[in-house]
Amino acid sequence: MVVMALPELPRHDSSGEPATPAEQLLGLLLAARRTLLALLATTLLTGGGLVILSPALLRLLQERLHQKLAFYTVAEPFLAHVKLGLFVAILALMPLYLTVLWRLLARPFGLALRTRVAFTAATCLLFYAGAAFCGLVTLPYGISFLLGFGSEELVPTISVNKFVGFVALFIVAFGVIFQLPVFMIFCGKARLVSRQRFVAGRRYAVLVISIL
């Protein structure tokens, strides 16, 4: 577990004026460099350890999504297992990432401890909800739909490395998309975007969703 010790932030800039939230955030990110490097090291070590479980996880993915996979280079199976191990490590460590993120944002944007804990819990739950929705609903039907364009002349032969990358990208993307409600609430609390601005942009959001 990575413990983040945050230094005191300067309340004023070099001219003596009160530091803006953006300046405080920049200073905090610079001061937290060691913690971010520790997070990277933790992810790599965890991913390396999970490579041992990668064959079983890949077999589970194949059975769940009903896909037979192939490889086209000598190193591709190994790289696919490494990529899958890192992906599972990111999923497992997401609560740690989000805890550090909200701790970084708490001081410059004046978030109380209770608010920070609530945001951390909400983002964790929504991320895993989005990831589960993608893995259990969107990916199976989406892959079946896309492969439905095949024919006798177009026989699907899916690369294991690209398959792992495709699945990982979509699961993480859905987890991030599900953060939209928390993002909107945070923008309102931090006074970055007003409620009126969100209401005014609602019609455009509906239009974009309809097109997609």
Q: Which residues contact 38 (CB under 8 A, 6 or more apart)?
A: 2
Tens of pLDDT, residues 48-92? 999 999 999 999 888 888 888 889 999 999 999 999 999 999 999
CA distances from 201 to 181, 184, 190, 197 (A): 15, 12, 19, 6
The DSSP line for 38-61 is: HHHHHHHHHHHHHGGGHHHHHHHH
Question: What is the pLDDT confidence band of residue 205, given thresholds at 50, 70 and 90?
Answer: low
Most confident among 32-41, 89-98, 107-116, 195-204 (mean pLDDT):
89-98
Question: What is the pLDDT confidence band of residue 2, given thresholds at 50, 70 and 90?
Answer: very low
Q: Which of 1, 82, 90 is nearest to 48 (CA)?
A: 82
Is the full-model pTM beyond 0.75?
Answer: yes
The predicted pLDDT at position 3 comes to 45
Domain ranges of the chain: 22-178, 180-212
| Mean pLDDT of the chain, nearest integer | 82
- With b for 16 or more beta-carbon neighbours within 10 A and e for fewer, the 20-50 pattern comes to eeebbbebbeeebeebeeebeebbeebbeeb
**Greatest extent of the chain over all pairs of C-alpha atoms, in Å:** 73
Q: How crowded is residue 65: how many other Cβ atoms within 10 Å of its Cβ?
A: 17
Q: By the 8 A CB rule, do 121 and 202 touch?
A: no
* 3-class SS of residue 18: strand
